[in-house]
Structure 1
Amino acid sequence: MIDEIVGWRAGLDDLLARFAHRFGRAEPRRQALSYLVGLLSPLASKNGWTLAEAAGDTMPDRMQRLLNKSAWNPDAVRDDLFAYVSEHLGDDDGVLIVDETGFLKKGIKSAGVQRQYSGTAGRTENCQLGVFLAYASPAGRTLIDRELYLPRGWCDNLARREEAGIAAGVGFATKPALGLRMLERPITAGLPARWVTADEAYGQDSKFRTWLQQRFGYVLAVPRNQRVPTTVGNSRPDVLAANTPALAWKRRSCGAGAKGPRLYDWAVASLPGTA
């Protein structure tokens, strides 16, 4: 067990060494390592206070300073991450996964917070929404990028934007548009991938699908009431599924879940090429 911990920490030190040049001083470099260790730890709650305590600090000031005031560029570190992931997990059949998650909040000061639907909570809550990009291959999986969803009401409120530290150049973008923005970055950086997958929030967006058709294979969920083209006219996915012969369906596992194997029924049908 001790050998495993030592090996894990050595691997983390090697990872941080790749990003060390992004920090001009030793103190934020050390604090970044403590931050990563805290995020990977089994803490029940992970915030400025708990991460600081896990690092041996009596106050969260150092951890907050790393995130709010230290001179380093998170986007530059993200670009370094692309190269690291490509080296360790890269595969020509890699899969890029777009999804969003909500972060429940009690106040109104956090950037982008408002009452909106959170898939994490399964209901409308006061929360922030982030759109995330993950990479998966036979060698493993990891998160590689993120974008904060900024609602239109926030974009139009200059005083609120300034108070939350939102740069003037940040404008409104839909969640599918944020997803496309993230998909372009690792591909430009040379991360190998052949497939993209996302849920119906992205599958129902014609611009999202059209962009993918020119670049990737993809599997996207769509709402059951979305009109899709067939050889005999447009139809709904639920109608097509109901009329598919029983022998065409195959049950496949998507791996183990919290409540056991995640089993889904799949059938394949050819549709006319269209966005």
Structure 2
Amino acid sequence: METESDVEVGLWDAELESLLQRVGGRFGRVEPRRRMRDYVRGLLGPVGRKNSWQIAEYAGHGTPHGLQRLLSWCQWDPDRIRDDLQDYVAERLGQPGGVLIVDDTGFLKKGTVSAGVQRQYSGTAGRTENCQIGVFAAYASARGRALVDRELYLPKSWTEDPDRCRAARIPEEKSFATKPELARVMVQRALDSALPVTWVTADAAYGQEWHFRRMLEEAGVGYVLAVPKSQQVKSPAGSWRIDHVLTGAPPDAGERISCGDGAKGPRVYDWAAAKLPTVDGSDPAHCRWVLARRSLARPDEVAYYLAFAPADTVVTELVRVAGARWAIEECFQAAKNECGLDQYEVRRYVGWYRHITLAMLAHAFLAAMTAHALERGAGETVRPASFPSPWQKSGGSWTLPVPPRPGMGHPRTGSTGPIGADAIRPSPATATTSAARTPIG
């Protein structure tokens, strides 16, 4: 008699087999197709370090040479697997309101011959290290999150050295591209795919790039992008630093909202938002906003965002999108810990893409099965709570004035910090209605 556990294992086996058959058509020969299957199963299996040697041993191969050939020499295109992966994620995790998240992560390396390696800052390590940098895109919805695209960053020390590129089998047509330029390529691919992308979010390294924001606006895609406090905000009357825009906000111009659950519970911050005046030629159906997020534990710690969204967007939706950025960090952690994303021992350019893509495929499978288990066991997903706020405007939007240029006599009453120490501190005692119904402007 089958137990519930047996049924669950059967479901997992059937889903994995279906996924492997789906991508198996990208291999023209039986041998590399079988090795791909063994490699993915090894990435998902109880293997100490998920490189060719240990995966080969787990799969029962006599030597690692076959798996090494899979990553280095066999004829197959990892970009086709990426396309299949995006279709799979769209089917298993796709929902209206889905968010595409862009970020990069570092892969620490020894030596100087791995494609793209050099001493450079790694956010993963929090310091300058000898490493490779990968720029990634993840998709997140209420059903789950998974990595869906990747590009290897090639510093100028590589792209300006043809001999070095030849040795690492980097295609001759590859030229230098900044990380935001790589991000734009991946975002466009996602928009052209089956993924239901409604929003894009990223940290300040990408949010401060004008071409990145412009591309999204021209595509009609909403965004909530972190920017540095020195970011210039433009209007018909001029431009100002973003940390000055909300300086004159009234004391109650804020909301205390959770932007999602973290390891220690809801991530609750004080938020303020202001609609920017319309610039000639702007889409009247969409508006631009500035947002400020203040830490409750460290009130001097304020983060800033630029947003572009439909005019009737509510503050909690913008906050939800801003909070979705943590999803890609969770993807990195899970893909590295569970699927060996960072445990490769390949040096050539194509080897990096092949290992990373198969590790992403394994991670997407885990994400899909987690979503399936949650839906079977928990029913409806509970949305993050929104904390009541005292500032509500019935029948209208809250719009904060853009500060004038220095010397024009803008009042700074009550301002003791970048957005005023009290600018986004709500008074819970006076809150009576749900912030989720408040349109922001």
TM-score (norm 1): 0.90
Query: Which residue, 50, 56, 69 being the options, matches 2:73?
Result: 69
Is it true that 1:145 corresponds to 2:149 in the alignment? yes
Question: Which residue identity is paired with 1:237?
Answer: I
Counterpart of 1:224 in structure 2 is: 229
Is it true that 1:102 corresponds to 2:102 in the alignment? no
Any conservation in 2 of the 1:250–1:266 contact (CA below 8 Å)?
yes
Shift of 1:260: 4.8
Shift of 1:70: 1.4
Counterpart of 1:238 in structure 2 is: 243
Stretch deviating more after TM superposition (183-192 or 207-216): 183-192
- Larger relative contact order (C-alpha < 8 A, sep ≥ 6)? 2
Any conservation in 2 of the 1:231–1:271 contact (CA below 8 Å)?
no
Shift of 1:242: 5.2
Describe how 1:1-275 pairs up with structure 2 within 5 A.
1-41=5-45, 43=47, 45-215=49-219, 216-229=221-234, 233-241=238-246, 243-273=248-278
Shift of 1:124: 0.8
Q: Deviations over 1:224-256 (max 9, x none)?
A: 122223576433233345544442232333434
Stretch deviating more after TM superposition (13-22 or 24-33): 24-33
Q: Deviations over 1:144-171 (max 9, x none)?
A: 1111111112001011001111010111
Question: Which residue identity is paired with 1:85?
Answer: V
Any conservation in 2 of the 1:114–1:127 contact (CA below 8 Å)?
yes
Q: Secondary structure at the match of 2:275?
A: coil
Runs of 5+ consecutive residues of structure 2 not aligned to the other structure: 280-287, 289-441
The 1:40–1:258 alpha-carbon spacing in structure 2 relative to 1, beyond 3 Å, is farther
The 1:240–1:37 alpha-carbon spacing in structure 2 relative to 1, beyond 3 Å, is farther
Any conservation in 1 of the 2:43–2:50 contact (CA below 8 Å)?
yes
Superposition CA RMSD, Å: 2.3
Shift of 1:211: 0.7
Name the CA distance, whole Å, in 1 between partners of 2:55 and 2:78: 19
Name the CA distance, whole Å, in 1 between partners of 2:48 and 2:264: 21
Shift of 1:267: 1.7
Name the CA distance, whole Å, in 2 between partners of 1:19 and 1:58: 25
Any conservation in 2 of the 1:49–1:60 contact (CA below 8 Å)?
yes
Shift of 1:266: 2.0
Any conservation in 2 of the 1:130–1:148 contact (CA below 8 Å)?
yes
Q: Secondary structure at the match of 1:129?
A: strand
Name the CA distance, whole Å, in 1 between partners of 2:46 and 2:268: 29
Question: Which residue identity is paired with 1:115?
Answer: R
Q: Deviations over 1:18-72 (max 9, x none)?
A: 1111112222222212222233346564333333333333543222211111111
Shift of 1:203: 0.6
Any conservation in 1 of the 2:235–2:278 contact (CA below 8 Å)?
no
Name the CA distance, whole Å, in 1 between partners of 2:132 and 2:123: 11
Name the CA distance, whole Å, in 2 between partners of 1:42 and 1:266: 43
The 1:4–1:19 alpha-carbon spacing in structure 2 relative to 1, beyond 3 Å, is same
Any conservation in 1 of the 2:48–2:54 contact (CA below 8 Å)?
no
Question: Which residue identity is paired with 1:228?
Answer: V
